[in-house]
Amino acid sequence: MKTLLIISWRNIWRNPQRSFVMIVAIMAGLWGGLMAASLAQGLMNQRFRTGVEQEYSHLQIHHPEFIKQDNAKYVIDKREELSNHLDNDELVAAWSGRTIVSGMMGTATLTSGVTIKGIDPEMEAQTTFLDKNIIDGSYLEESARNPVLIGRSLAEKTKTRPGSRIVLTFQDLEGELASASFRVSGVFQTANSYFDETNVFVLKQDIGQYLGKEMVVNEIAIVLNDLDQVSEFARTYASKYPELEIRTWSQLSPQLAFYNELGSTMFMIILMIILMALAFGLMNTMLMSVIERIRELGMLMSIGMSKRRVFVMILLETTFLTLTGAFGGMLVGYTTVHIFQNKGINLGNVGGDSLTDFGFEPIIYPELAPSYGLILPILVIITAFATSIYPALKAIRLKPAEAVRQE
């Protein structure tokens, strides 16, 4: 077997130009595939993370009627009891109670529909890191009078900046129209420009005084220490508080659940396309190799080399050729991914800013799951074996007496 391994390795270098071109093609294909898959997975994972961290959290709790009617009068019952449970639950990393009111934001020149969220600044910062997203001005301060945070998209649309005065109009708990003047304390920016354009944040006590009740909690957003515990946590609290609606991130946004699965699916689709192209290229190369060596193969069989050994030899040649290119492609691919994993690829200069319209960041950080390092070589070896069967069968079907007379 050792002799057969040596012969097979030497055979692929008998025509070095063809072998080199094939190896480079395999390397380029795998490198391109790894980069495309890592960018797709990085993009999807970033959307998932930013969606969960900045918009939905791991779970949300509401009054069932609030979900149906979007009316601030439907508050969360047993708020104090629920708060104590969340504070003492080891699974909970952070949580934030919010007042949610639909209304209008007006400036001197423009009016825009918004969702007004009354928050506790400290709890919100721990839950969604809202304070880290401030790009202009300052975060909400309880000492200020009626401060408000608005998104960058909304600020550009309404031509407002920190220090500008705006008017928020909404319905109070009795259904009466209420208006209040707020001063912009800061401008925030998330990865989702639509979210930035349609949400404003104020102090919970400020919005409460205009609603007619100081502490109005319509929504509780929860972040757990372990994402895998979300379903179990939801079931536990649903049994404790059957009168409340407890929804996980996947229920709040099926789109995020789709993105979470899409990264690995994209990798497999891209890989399958590359492996199909690799299979045709390999089969063509090995068929040419067999045709060029008909006389040689006939002589080997005529002097006693069994058809089984000829079959194995062709199989080994294909495998060596494939693995050489695959190793080089994976080395270059993983090195490239590692380089850009920390730096990121900024698409802002080539129209990448429009990605924020769909909730994606313009800077993409490629990602590859560690398991791909095992899956890829296995699939490449399987492809090599599969594509070598036809050329190997063609070789062993040769008749030695006729083959040795070939010129």
Helix 307-343 to helix 16-50 angle, to the nearest 10 degrees? 40
402: three-class secondary structure by DSSP:
helix
Per-residue confidence (pLDDT) for residue 285, from 0 to 100: 80
Evaluate whether 388 touches 276 at the Cβ level (below 8 Å): no
- 178 φ, ψ (degrees, to nearest 5): -130, 145
CA distances 203 to 67, 118, 143, 161, 305, Å, are 22, 5, 10, 18, 86
Question: Comparing C-alpha atoms, which of 378, 358, 375 is closest to residue 44?
Answer: 358
Residue 197's pLDDT is 92
What pLDDT score does 181 carry? Answer: 93
**In terms of pLDDT, which residue wins out, 38 or 264?**
38
Per-residue pLDDT band at 288 (split at 50, 70, 90):
confident
Under a CB-based contact definition with an 8 Å cutoff, are residues 312 and 4 in contact?
yes
Q: What is the pLDDT of residue 381?
A: 82
Q: Which of 391, 396, 405, 329 lies closest to 25, judged by CA?
A: 329
User: What letter would DSSP give residue 351?
Assistant: T
Whether residue 213 is predicted with pLDDT greater than 90 in this model: the reply is: no
* pLDDT above 90 coverage of the chain, percent: 34
pLDDT of residue 105: 94
Per-residue pLDDT tens over the stretch 137-148:
999 987 788 999
Residue 333 main-chain phi, psi, to 5 deg: -65, -50
The angle at the Cα of 241, spanning 258 to 67, to the nearest 5 degrees, equals 50
**What pLDDT does residue 78 have?**
82
In this model, does residue 238 exceed pLDDT 60? yes
Q: Give percent of the chain with pLDDT exceeding 70.
A: 93
Q: Helix (H, G, I), strand (E, B), or coil: what is residue 159?
A: coil
- Token pair, residue 12, equals 């692929």
What tokens were used for 66?
A: 């609030």
Number of Cβ within a 10 Å radius of residue 274: 25
Closest among 221, 193, 240, 268 to 36, alpha carbons compared: 268
Helix (H, G, I), strand (E, B) or coil at 175: coil
CA separation for the pair 167, 209 (Å, rounded): 15
Please check the confidence at residue 17 and state whether its pLDDT lies above 60.
yes
Distance CA 260, CA 59 (A): 16
Is there a contact between 40 and 267 (Cβ–Cβ < 8 Å)?
Answer: yes
- Is the CB of residue 148 less than 8 Å from the CB of residue 121? no
Q: For residues 137 and 84, what is the distance between their CA atoms, to the nearest angstrom?
A: 34
- At 151-168, the pLDDT tens digits run 999 999 989 999 999 999
The kind and range of the H/E element at 357 are none
Average pLDDT over residues 211-222: 88
Round to whole Å and give the CA distance between 355 and 104. 26
Cα distances (angstroms) measured from residue 227 to each of 48, 125, 129, 220, 359? 12, 19, 17, 17, 21
pLDDT for 103: 93
Q: What's the token pair of residue 332?
A: 């270059």
Least confident of 123-132, 241-250, 308-317: 308-317
CA-CA distance, 182 to 147, in Å (whole number)?
Answer: 6
Which tens digits make up the pLDDT trace of 356-390?
A: 666 677 778 888 877 777 788 788 888 888 888 88
Q: What pLDDT is recorded for position 52? A: 84
Over the stretch 332-363, which tens digit does the pLDDT of each residue have? Answer: 988 998 888 888 887 766 555 566 666 677 77
Task: Read off the pLDDT of each residue in 88-100 and give the average, rounded to a whole number.
Answer: 93
- The pLDDT of residue 263: 66
| Of 128, 137, 247, nearest in space to 199 by CA | 128
Where residue 123 falls among pLDDT bands split at 50, 70, 90?
very high
> What's the confidence (pLDDT) of residue 371?
76
| 364 DSSP β-pair partners | 345
Q: 40-54, 103-117, 149-163, 184-198: lowest mean pLDDT where?
A: 40-54
Q: pLDDT, tens digit, for every residue of 173-185?
A: 888 899 999 999 9
Out of 204-208, 311-315, 356-360, pick the least confident.
Answer: 356-360
Q: DSSP labels for 265-324?
A: HHHHHHHHHHHHHHHHHHHHHHHHHHHHTHHHHHHHHHTT--HHHHHHHHHHHHHHHHHH
The CA distance from 370 to 219, in Å, is 38
pLDDT at 406 over 80: no
pLDDT of residue 269: 82
Predicted local confidence at residue 117, as pLDDT? 96
**Measured distance CA(22)–CA(12) in Å, rounded:** 11
Once rounded to an integer, what is the mean pLDDT over residues 74-99? 91
Provide the pLDDT for residue 221: 95
What mean pLDDT value characterizes the chain?
85
Residues 6+ apart with CB under 8 A from 2: none
Give the pLDDT confidence score for residue 358 in this predicted structure: 61
What integer pLDDT is reported at residue 356 of this predicted model? 63
How crowded is residue 385: how many other Cβ atoms within 10 Å of its Cβ? Answer: 14
| 363: DSSP letter | E
